[in-house]
Amino acid sequence: MTQIMEDIIENLIDGQTKKVVALVEQAIAEGIAAKDILNKGLLAGMNEVGVLFKEGELFVPEVLVSAKAMNAGMEVIKPLLKEGDIQKSGTVLLATVKGDLHDIGVNLVAMMLEGAGYEVVNIGVDASPEKIVESVKKIQPDLIGMSAMLTTTMASMKDTITALEESGLSDKVKIMVGGSPVSKDYADKIGANYAGDATAAVELANELLGR
Amino acid sequence: MSRRKKQNPFPGGLVGGSYKPLKDGDVEKIHKATMKVFENTGIQVNDERALKAFHDAGAQVDFDQKMVKATEDWIMKTIKTAPESITLYGREDKHNMDLDGFKVYIGTGGTATNVLDIDTGKRRPSTMEDVQKAARLVDALENIHYFVISCFPNELEKENVDVNRFYGALRNTTKHVMGGVYTKEGVRNIAKYAEMIAGSKEALLEKPFVSFITCVMSPLVMDKDYTDLMLTAIETGLPLATPTAPMAGSTSPGTLAGTLVQMNAEALSGVLLTQIVNPGHPVLYSCVPTTSDLRTGAFCFGSIEMGMMNAACAQLSRFYRLPNYTTAGVNEAKIPDIQSGYESMATTMLCALAGSNYIHDAAGLLESGMSISYEQYVVDNDILGMCMRAVKGIEVNDETLATEVINDVGPAGNYLSHEHTVMNMNKEFFYNKVSDRNTRARWEIEGEIDAREKARRMAIEILKTHKPLFIDQHIEQKIIQEIPGMLSEWLD
Ligand code: B12
């Protein structure tokens, strides 16, 4: 690995957005292929971030800042990437279900998924089954994540799954659910997958999408 | 990769003093009352050498009754030579402690005669192996600032206890080692090999990494044997703590103020003797005020009143311009459980907030000091860290007020991914190691273990992996050959 890639990785882990951007620009100037900058620099750095986070070396805010730095680097090389250079890791649609206004947890899940390289579309709180079905048609995600924090709104997860089935969308997307009253048992019962926190959500997404 | 070593943002030596259980006028009242005790009642001194020393220095001594009385003027003049602050050193300089003002350091205590076996969880008599392992564990636990030797090696002959106990401690931690002593020969031999480790007597006395504890008895007695030991310890020139442990309601008055008065007289007696015999001797104003549970007469180390009185000692010691040794964090629980948790936290927190210089007994001890527990050291490491965090207090300045950051993030935003959060996340927050803060689901996956079991696993892991900075091989061999009674086999 060349020195400049090492520097990109190092600065990415340190969350040094400006330095990452400068280094990516320098790498382009040196004639390194955009694809290599992406894979051997930015993505390699984020992988390392993931490992350090799991080991407890890095904290959530650091991971998120590293993710920001990666995105800034991505912006620089995007125009230079050719079709097929980016392995699409997947699109995740997130929502807090109908009647529920809690979004702190699901926002955290969104940020961690983005940090892990997923494209995330968060359609926000109080999302009815109809709204979710519409969004799935439009966005065509690989995975849907639903959040509910109230015992009373959990039922809307089941309603949403039924609505997806009725629209013939249910075998086109994977479904995961979470939120403090939700349990693995409940998820099994409604035909969904469960993750207890944001880190587990990333692991679950990786598993469901075969990464 | 650039793994930044996160340094402890809440180290020993932070300045406390915000909790003041005594109002300003109250400190003076306790002082005046103590002076009355010295003038009217006096203390009993059961050692001829000490009696003569008090007499020659100008106190009123009744040799028949073995009683020493003194005036306020004489007392205040005599303690003047005692240093206002003392530095206790570690074998490594990063562990030096500057006992001054309201600076706070917290550490372990002794001398337990039992241990909860780390494998079986059952109580058994403690041994040299436990002395060494406790020292090694403390060496690795970042919020425990020094090591007061934890337990008694029951398998050794009494005359061999001192040298081996201290060596087992010194060898397994580079933090400052302090301990109680049992024989005069032991005291002298410990000083002797400490000089060998330091390189010379001068080097040892310049940076003493070892110190002694010799007790005063409540009520108002300087015991024959202990005073003899105290005089021997003073001869070594090493720092000394002369604690006294009145029990409110049984060996001292049934009021907190009255107990503080009597304890003050006893604590000052130890300071007085050191200064008469060796003016300028590094001595700590040493306090172990406790209570009795008057429902049964039981001794109480974990009572809330004990915490309050020990906290008050920080104020008293500042009045006399002396560094203090106080007691907290020990409890009456028989196993590491809910009781050990809340009792340890309550008293340690009070002393830490009061700005006590050297809070001892605050890690590893259970059962009123009768037993140590490996798990408890790990749990107390968390408790001590929380206390030091509280000592540091809330920092208020433009950077921490964060108005620009609030403006940046705005309504409905989030601070998790903001630079400001990253900048502050290590210095603003204490991260417990034992506390479980995971979701229930994760807790279930990880085996549904409680704090005691988690701490036990952490202790086992540390003992398996942590290697302290041992003592130089050549010096060690020399010590083993030259010092009588030394064991030859030591834990690898
Ligand atoms: C903050 C909060 C609020 C805030 C919400 C602000 C906001 N923007 O979200 C406000 C004040 C608005 C609020 C309102 C109410 N709340 Co509220 N609230 C909470 C509280 C204290 C914290 C929730 C939180 O943010 N936690 C922190 C995040 C990080 O954790 P999390 O949400 O659990 O998310 C993690 C996991 O669950 C998981 N996860 C979450 N979503 C998803 C999704 C997927 C796909 C996956 C895989 C994982 C996943 O990953 C996350 C990150 O690790 C909880 C108590 C609690 N301890 O949970 C009560 C709580 C959820 N609220 C409760 C109640 C009752 C209400 C109200 C009805 C109160 C009232 N009478 O007005 C209203 C309801 C409003 C509404 N219609 O939704 C109850 C729910 C009881 C129940 N089981 O039904 C709780 C449990 C408090 C309680 N014990 O009574 N609340």
Residues B415 and B288 in one domain: no
In a domain, B47, yes or no: no
* pLDDT (0 to 100) of residue B441: 82
Interchain pair B3, A68: CB under 8 A: no
pLDDT digits (tens, 9 = 90+) for B242-263: 999 999 999 999 999 999 999 9
Measure the CA–CA gap between B33 and B59, rounded to whole angstroms. Answer: 18
Look up the CATH number of the domain holding residue B331.
3.20.20.480
In a domain, B378, yes or no: yes
Q: Which of B60-69, B384-393, B438-447 has the lowest mean pLDDT?
A: B438-447
Distance to chain B for A174, nearest Cα, Å: 21
Q: What is the 3-state secondary structure (H, E, C) of B330-345?
A: CCCCCCCCHHHHHHHH
pLDDT digits (tens, 9 = 90+) for B265-283: 999 999 999 999 999 999 9
Residues B254 and B274 in one domain: yes
Residues B121 and B265 in one domain: yes
Q: Kindly give the number of the ligand 1 atom that is closest to the alpha carbon of A145.
A: 45
Domain total for chain B? Answer: 2
Single pTM value for the model:
0.89
Is residue B215's pLDDT more than 90? Answer: yes
| Alpha helix stretches (DSSP H) within B334-450 | 338-354, 374-392, 398-401, 403-409, 419-428, 440-445
From the CB of A182, is ligand 1 less than 6 Å away? no
From the CB of A102, is ligand 1 less than 6 Å away? yes
> Cβ of A188 under 8 Å from any chain B Cβ?
no
> Cβ of A184 under 8 Å from any chain B Cβ?
yes
DSSP A157-194: HHHHHHHHHHTT-TTTSEEEEESTT--HHHHHHHT-EE
* pLDDT (0 to 100) of residue B413: 85
In a domain, B448, yes or no: no
List the structure tokens of B145. Answer: 């600032």
Q: Kindly give the number of the ligand 1 atom that is closest to the alpha carbon of A149.
A: 61
| pLDDT average, residue stretch A164-184 | 94
In a domain, B36, yes or no: no
Residues B282 and B133 in one domain: yes
Is residue B5's pLDDT more than 70? Answer: no
Residues B261 and B407 in one domain: no
Residues B213 and B255 in one domain: yes
Is residue B4's pLDDT more than 60? Answer: no
Residues B405 and B328 in one domain: no
Instruction: Find all residues with CB under 8 Å of B306, minimum gap 6, and list them.
Output: B289, B290, B291, B300, B327, B328, B347
Residue among A63, A92, A97, A102 whose CB has most ligand 1 atoms within 8 A, to mutate: A102
- Choosing from B338, B369, B392, the residue where a domain stops is B392
pLDDT digits (tens, 9 = 90+) for B96-125: 999 999 999 999 999 999 999 999 999 999
Omega before residue B208 within 30° of 0, cis: no
Averaged pLDDT score across all residues of chain B? 96
Instruction: Find all residues with CB under 8 Å of B268, minimum gap 6, and list them.
Output: B34, B38, B75, B79, B285, B320
* pLDDT (0 to 100) of residue A210: 87
Averaged pLDDT score across all residues of chain A? 92
| pLDDT average, residue stretch B405-424 | 92
In a domain, B219, yes or no: yes
Q: What percentage of chain B has pLDDT greater than the value 70?
A: 99
DSSP letter at B452? H
| pLDDT average, residue stretch B406-416 | 92
Q: Which of A88-97, A132-141, B200-209, B376-385 has the lowest mean pLDDT?
A: A88-97
Residues B296 and B405 in one domain: no
> Is residue B468 classed exposed, middle or buried when 0-12, 13-18 and 19+ CB atoms within 10 A define those classes?
buried
From the CB of A151, is ligand 1 less than 6 Å away? yes
> Cβ of B440 under 8 Å from any chain A Cβ?
yes
Match 């983005």 to its residue by tokens.
A114
| pLDDT average, residue stretch A55-72 | 89
User: pLDDT category, A67, cuts 50, 70, 90?
Assistant: confident
| pLDDT average, residue stretch B451-468 | 98
Residues B286 and B420 in one domain: no
Residues B172 and B250 in one domain: yes
How remote is the CA of residue A149 from the centroid of ligand 1, in Å? 5
How remote is the CA of residue A128 from the centroid of ligand 1, in Å? 18
User: pLDDT category, B1, cuts 50, 70, 90?
Assistant: very low
Is residue A104's pLDDT more than 90? Answer: no
Closest CA to A111 of A60, A40, A46, A51: A60
From the CB of A146, is ligand 1 less than 6 Å away? yes
> Cβ of B425 under 8 Å from any chain A Cβ?
yes
Distance to chain B for A55, nearest Cα, Å: 11
- Which residue range forms the structural domain that includes residue B405? 398-428
Q: Kindly give the number of the ligand 1 atom that is closest to the alpha carbon of A103.
A: 9
| pLDDT average, residue stretch A43-68 | 88
> Cβ of B294 under 8 Å from any chain A Cβ?
no
In a domain, B168, yes or no: yes
Residues B347 and B418 in one domain: no
* pLDDT (0 to 100) of residue B2: 43
Is residue A1's pLDDT more than 80? Answer: no
* pLDDT (0 to 100) of residue B90: 98
- Choosing from B392, B411, B439, the residue where a domain stops is B392
In a domain, B87, yes or no: yes
Residue nearest to atom 63 of ligand 1 (CA): A150
User: pLDDT category, B207, cuts 50, 70, 90?
Assistant: very high
In a domain, B2, yes or no: no
Is residue B447's pLDDT more than 90? Answer: yes
Q: Which of A196-205, B23-32, B101-110, B146-155 has the lowest mean pLDDT?
A: A196-205
Residues B290 and B363 in one domain: yes
